[in-house]
Structure 1
Amino acid sequence: MFFTNAQDVIKHLYSLPKLHEKADLTYIKRVLKLLGDPQDQVKTIHVTGTNGKGSTSYYLSNLLQKAGQKTGLFVSPYIFEFNERIQLNGQNISDSELVRIANLVENALDQIRIEDPNFALVTFEYEVVAAFVYFEQVKCDYAVIEVGIGGEHDKTNVITPEVSIITTVGLDHEDIIGPTLLEIACEKSGVIKTKRPVVLGNLPREVMPIIEERAREKSASIRKLGENFFVSGDQKIHYRDAQKNLSFNTRPEVEGFDIAVAIQAFSLLHLPLASDEIEDAINQTIIPGRYQVLQSEPLIILDGAHNIQAMQNLLNFIHEQAHLRHGTVRILMMMMRDKDLDEVFSLFQPTDQVELTTIDYPRAAKKKDFPDWVVQKYPYQENWQSAYKQLKLESQANDILLVTGSFYLVGEILHLEENAKNEN
């Protein structure tokens, strides 16, 4: 197969199988080896966690760029366009580069299929291979690599990073890496590598023995939030460790944890960067689909929170802001069928005006997928565009309109707003 345009590459990616018979790394390692093991040619930072790994990855990427490093970033999911998955110095991979790299991967696959005609990569493996090939070819100084799911068996876990990061451990993807919190922690601890430091974020106390045991086995030093470095503040974020005292613009408290972890991981790389430059790098970081502000009056916030931990943190922040603004909270909510639909809705306040919607996507929950008590309590609007426009119209200057529950809905809203802007 030979690709001539990016749309063909993306279409091909989504036609690939989603899972192998064996949940191991033999398939991806076989392809990477044939391509010269590009993942070993670039210094990496490996980021896992139930929540906060995307934000932490973006903060780290900006810190590295500020320090003059040619910086790769691999993240998922994408919000606005597929090319967000693979970035260089904050810029999405170009269509032409995506095509070129995909053809290199295809060439390797063709060679393998001479001996093994049925050999194939799953979608995520293909994306990971493409990212490593790209980062090696453009000669990145560092690449920040966000895991897909878990750690030990994640397809990104083919690297020996300079630093490993575990941001949080909570319940999500329990059917794949759980079902218990301890099993999830065990899977995530798989990113810890021999004699490479690990930075730990806001982790539950009960999982610490598992993480610490893995670090001991690997002779990996640990830096812990709340022990080796600290963060505080409900509006402004304050960070401190043995060397630094820093302050950052207004952010939700949970973002403070991600900022702190990113700074601590960055400090372990021993790259020169003054305190004011660190503050600038963090303050200038925009994370797509995470506490993303579209406008201020009314305050419209997009956030792809899709599990209990993330939703709880998000709603705490939204309700604090509503109290300060003396406004009403309106929420447009879409979720995937395989999420904890029941539990999430117990987090809303009685005064929240919640509306359910869906998008044209196979996993998206429709009206029949929500618990009976939820659809009896909250209106359901099949057409997300109509629902969003109506809620926006009803919102006064001091109100808050939150779009949440899925990055897919957030992406649709961003496209809608972008098209509206272009038409005006």
Structure 2
Amino acid sequence: MFTRVGAVALKKDLHNTIAMCAALDNPQNKFKSIHIAGTNGKGSTSHMLAAVLQKAGYKTGLYTSPHLKDFRERIRINGKMVSKSFVKDFVKTQTEIVNEIEPSFFEVTVAMAFDYFAKEKVDIAVIEVGLGGRLDSTNIITPELSVITNISLDHTNILGNTLPEIAFEKAGIIKKNIPVVIGERHSETENVFIQKAAQEDSQITFAEDNLRLENLHQKKPLLSMDIYQSKGLVYKNLALDLTGTYQSKNIVTVIQSILKLKELGFKIPDKAIYSSLNKVKKLTGLQGRWQTLSTNPLIICDTGHNKAGITEVIQNIKNTNFEKLHFVIGMVKDKDIDGVLAILPKNATYYFCEPDLERALSAKDLAEKASHFMLKGKVFNNVKAALETAKKMASANDLIFVGGSTFVVAEIL
């Protein structure tokens, strides 16, 4: 399973997913969908879109990965996790086909999600890509809309070592005559998307070309902003309960996607947009995005786990008032460890730890690598011990940040 062991668990074609879904009478063809890929922000974007559609009155499926605490987080309808009984029955009834084709954990999970959404007759399902796009198990759907949030270096051992190579894999979700929204325009990747869209006769829109965000400010406990098109103000005082400043990029992608869905005939009133985006976490169960766990001292976690994601985390830290920074960090082996460590603040106290999975980089090795970047701290053999020590060392006005990996965050929620 990729989550725990990495690239060796990947299947580099769609054969198994196609075979499993064929045995289920192709459930992916029985509901409408939106397909979302991207290096960073695809999880937040998926949850925001699902919340909006739910509030607009659509029975909305949501498939995301990985989960943090409960496997069933991956498969939801209107924010409610798939039932334990459905999961058990699915596993039991699909044992024969699983033994026959030996699919990966992710392939089984995708088939389960599609079967659930079809049987529950969802109006629309928001489907988040697991990894890449072109060969991802989710890429057997024909969506109403494809969305690609952004491109940065991650999973380079699988997707490629350059931004154009990674963009090529993400662009694999662009389908014939299906419109695509690209969140951010980048000089190294824009032509990859433009060429793929032209090949597929897909109408392409770069969100940041069409929309601009102004008056971004914290209006606790929300993040508030105005959204403009060239013709003028579209949404005034739009408020998000996802308060990381990086959400300013995701919300532009979300709003452009909503505008495109409205063009396609979806009925999404402004009231649904305002009343959903200020409670995405409640409506969808999203966790781990610049999430405040407690105060006095302030403890915040975030699942950012690559250089681009950690760059945004550091910006959020700079925007936070505190006296001293305590940084609980763990990482997995197949990330750009040095790239992340090089940008971390040197004036923090570090608590090096390791999440409980095979892919984890040992806390000792992480501390050794960190020392080359003048980052100092102590080593802990598990995440909870690191956090508990940070709590003991921190004063009431300090900040404790917990992150570096989704799996570190999962262990403290």
TM-score, length-normalised on structure 1? 0.86
Find out whether 1:389 has 2:410 as its counterpart.
no
1:276 CA drift (Å): 3.7
Query: Which residue of structure 2 lines up, in the alignment, with residue 76 of structure 1?
Result: 65
Q: Report the 3-state secondary structure (helix = DSSP H, G, I; strand = E; otherwise coil) of the residue aligned with 1:382.
A: coil
1:264 CA drift (Å): 2.0
Match of 2:127 among 121, 128, 145: 145
Find out whether 1:344 has 2:343 as its counterpart.
no
- Equivalent residues in 2 for 1:215-230, closer than 5 Å: 215-230=197-212
Is the 2:181–2:204 contact (alpha carbons within 8 Å) kept by the matching residues of 1?
Answer: yes
Match of 2:228 among 229, 240, 255: 240
Q: Which amino acid aligns with 2:292?
A: V
Match of 1:49 among 17, 38, 44: 38
For 1:102 and 1:246, how far apart are their aligned partners in 2?
A: 46
Find out whether 1:96 has 2:85 as its counterpart.
yes
Query: Which residue of structure 2 lines up, in the alignment, with residue 421 of structure 1?
Result: none
1:154 CA drift (Å): 0.7
Q: Which amino acid aligns with 1:303?
A: D
| Most deviating of 259-268 and 242-251 | 242-251
* Cα pair distance change 1:378/1:263, threshold 3 Å: same
* Cα pair distance change 1:17/1:206, threshold 3 Å: closer
Q: Report the 3-state secondary structure (helix = DSSP H, G, I; strand = E; otherwise coil) of the residue aligned with 2:217.
A: coil
What number of residue pairs does the alignment pair up?
A: 393
* Structure 1 unmatched ranges of 5 or more: 1-11, 111-117, 415-424
Query: Which residue of structure 2 lines up, in the alignment, with residue 25 of structure 1?
Result: 14
Find out whether 1:361 has 2:349 as its counterpart.
no
Query: Which residue of structure 2 lines up, in the alignment, with residue 328 of structure 1?
Result: 324
1:245 CA drift (Å): 4.2
For 2:299 and 2:288, how far apart are their aligned partners in 1?
A: 12
Q: Which amino acid aligns with 2:268?
A: L
Deviation digits for residues 42-82 of structure 1 (CA, Å, limit 9, x no counterpart):
10000000000000011011001001111111111101111
1:268 CA drift (Å): 2.1
* Cα pair distance change 1:412/1:365, threshold 3 Å: same
| Most deviating of 312-321 and 269-278 | 269-278
- Equivalent residues in 2 for 1:234-383, closer than 5 Å: 234-236=216-218, 237-241=225-229, 243-249=234-240, 251-270=243-262, 271-286=266-281, 287-321=286-320, 325-370=321-366, 372-375=368-371, 377-383=376-382
Deviation digits for residues 233-253 of structure 1 (CA, Å, limit 9, x no counterpart):
442433233754452247233
1:370 CA drift (Å): 2.7
Q: Report the 3-state secondary structure (helix = DSSP H, G, I; strand = E; otherwise coil) of the residue aligned with 1:169.
A: coil
Is the 2:329–2:352 contact (alpha carbons within 8 Å) kept by the matching residues of 1?
Answer: yes
Is the 1:42–1:135 contact (alpha carbons within 8 Å) kept by the matching residues of 2?
Answer: yes
Find out whether 1:85 has 2:80 as its counterpart.
no
For 2:395 and 2:319, how far apart are their aligned partners in 1?
A: 17
Is the 1:16–1:122 contact (alpha carbons within 8 Å) kept by the matching residues of 2?
Answer: no
Q: Report the 3-state secondary structure (helix = DSSP H, G, I; strand = E; otherwise coil) of the residue aligned with 1:361.
A: coil
| Most deviating of 264-273 and 26-35 | 264-273
1:199 CA drift (Å): 1.0
For 1:375 and 1:381, how far apart are their aligned partners in 2?
A: 15
Is the 1:86–1:131 contact (alpha carbons within 8 Å) kept by the matching residues of 2?
Answer: yes
* Cα pair distance change 1:316/1:240, threshold 3 Å: same
Q: Report the 3-state secondary structure (helix = DSSP H, G, I; strand = E; otherwise coil) of the residue aligned with 2:125.
A: strand
1:183 CA drift (Å): 0.4
Q: Report the 3-state secondary structure (helix = DSSP H, G, I; strand = E; otherwise coil) of the residue aligned with 1:121.
A: coil
1:38 CA drift (Å): 0.4
Is the 1:105–1:130 contact (alpha carbons within 8 Å) kept by the matching residues of 2?
Answer: no
1:22 CA drift (Å): 6.2
Query: Which residue of structure 2 lines up, in the alignment, with residue 3 of structure 1?
Result: none
Deviation digits for residues 337-356 of structure 1 (CA, Å, limit 9, x no counterpart):
12122221111222222211
Q: Which amino acid aligns with 1:240?
A: Y
For 2:310 and 2:300, how far apart are their aligned partners in 1?
A: 13
- Equivalent residues in 2 for 1:127-138, closer than 5 Å: 127-138=109-120
1:103 CA drift (Å): 3.0
1:380 CA drift (Å): 1.3
1:180 CA drift (Å): 1.2
Find out whether 1:157 has 2:145 as its counterpart.
no
For 1:107 and 1:138, how far apart are their aligned partners in 2?
A: 24
* Cα pair distance change 1:144/1:34, threshold 3 Å: same
TM-score, length-normalised on structure 2? 0.89
- The alignment's C-alpha RMSD in Å is 2.4
For 1:74 and 1:212, how far apart are their aligned partners in 2?
A: 27
1:15 CA drift (Å): 11
For 1:380 and 1:19, how far apart are their aligned partners in 2?
A: 29
Is the 2:304–2:404 contact (alpha carbons within 8 Å) kept by the matching residues of 1?
Answer: yes
* Cα pair distance change 1:345/1:16, threshold 3 Å: closer
Q: Which amino acid aligns with 1:248?
A: A
1:167 CA drift (Å): 0.4
1:394 CA drift (Å): 2.7
Identical columns (%): 33
Q: Which amino acid aligns with 1:392?
A: K
* Cα pair distance change 1:274/1:59, threshold 3 Å: same
Is the 2:38–2:151 contact (alpha carbons within 8 Å) kept by the matching residues of 1?
Answer: yes
Query: Which residue of structure 1 lines up, in the alignment, with residue 179 of structure 2?
Result: 197
* Cα pair distance change 1:263/1:161, threshold 3 Å: same
* Cα pair distance change 1:308/1:14, threshold 3 Å: closer
Q: Report the 3-state secondary structure (helix = DSSP H, G, I; strand = E; otherwise coil) of the residue aligned with 2:226.
A: strand
Query: Which residue of structure 1 lines up, in the alignment, with residue 222 of structure 2?
Result: none
Q: Which amino acid aligns with 2:157?
A: D
Query: Which residue of structure 1 lines up, in the alignment, with residue 221 of structure 2?
Result: none
1:146 CA drift (Å): 0.6
For 2:2 and 2:89, how far apart are their aligned partners in 1?
A: 15
Q: Which amino acid aligns with 1:239?
A: I
